[in-house]
Amino acid sequence: MTRDRIRFVTAHYDQLQGLRLIPLGVYLLALAASGLGWLSWLPGDPSRAPGRWLGAVFCGALAAAVAATAWYRRRYGARTPLSRGRRNAWIVLAVGIFLLAAQFDQYANGPVALAPLSVAAALVLTVRADGWIRAHFLIAAAPWFAAAWIPMLHDDGTSRLVSYALAGGIALIVCGVGDHRVLSRTLIDPDTTHGPHAGLL
């Protein structure tokens, strides 16, 4: 285990708590399934059941994300986070670009959708900034890249909702699992079967 890897993980400890992302990814996959009509079998009024169930899944996802945060604190401890002003500014910029590109895509309806392409680019730039330790972000970028270049995935509002929710769900799960593996493999001694390294955090 290199010193650079330990330094990266301890500096980005809060960001690498990937289990928090997985429930939100599951919610987006449920949203995609709803857009495809796959949730119409749920109990209740078929025209309203998907919306009600999606609300329940969303609340469950938030609760699971909070529980994951508590689990990380119990297992690895807590630390004072470093200033994230610059990274947060980049995140806000990326979201702003996505929203503007989505508006443009809606009116231009071109062969290439710029909104998912901007997400793919942001994920690739994350790997460039953080290094190959987060190479799994390249896998997360793939469905967004596909959604940008396959016209049938963004021809209309429903196709756009389903493809973006599906790409987002896959990306969150891939990033969450990948980041969790980076964190857990760094902070747990591979020669033991219990307990994090003392004093890392």
Q: Give the total number of structural domains in the chain.
A: 1
- Residue at 106 is within a domain: yes
What DSSP character marks residue 110? -
- On whether residue 39 sits in a domain, the answer given is yes
127 within 8 A of 138, measured Cβ to Cβ: yes
What value does the mean pLDDT take over residues 120-142? 95
Q: Quick check: 17 pLDDT over 80?
A: yes
Contact 187, 9 (CB under 8 A): yes
Question: For the chain, what is the radius of gyration of the CA atoms?
Answer: 19
Instruction: Find the range with the poorest average confidence among 99-103, 165-169, 190-194.
Output: 190-194
In whole angstroms, what is the distance from residue 92 CA to residue 104 CA?
18
In a domain, 195, yes or no: no
Lookup result for tokens 């509002």:
157
Q: What is the pLDDT of residues 150-173, one digit of tens each?
A: 988 888 888 889 999 999 999 999
Mean pLDDT for the chain?
A: 85
In a domain, 100, yes or no: yes
State both tokens at 5. 């890897």
pLDDT band at 1 (very low <50, low <70, confident <90, very high): low
Q: What is the pLDDT of residues 19-68, one digit of tens each?
A: 999 999 999 999 998 888 887 777 765 555 666 788 888 999 999 999 99
Residue 193 lies in a domain: no
Tell me what pLDDT residue 20 has: 94
Instruction: Give the domain range for residue 29.
Output: 3-187
Burial class (CB in 10 A: 0-12, 13-18, 19+), 193: exposed
22 in a structural domain: yes
What amino acid is encoded at 104 in this protein? F
In a domain, 201, yes or no: no
With respect to residue 196, please indicate whether it lies within any of the assigned structural domains.
no
Query: Model pTM greater than 0.95?
Result: no
Query: What b/e sequence results for 163-184 when a residue is b if at least 16 CB atoms lie within 10 Å of its CB, and e otherwise?
Result: bbbbbbbbbbbbbbbbbbebbb
pLDDT for 119 beyond 90:
yes
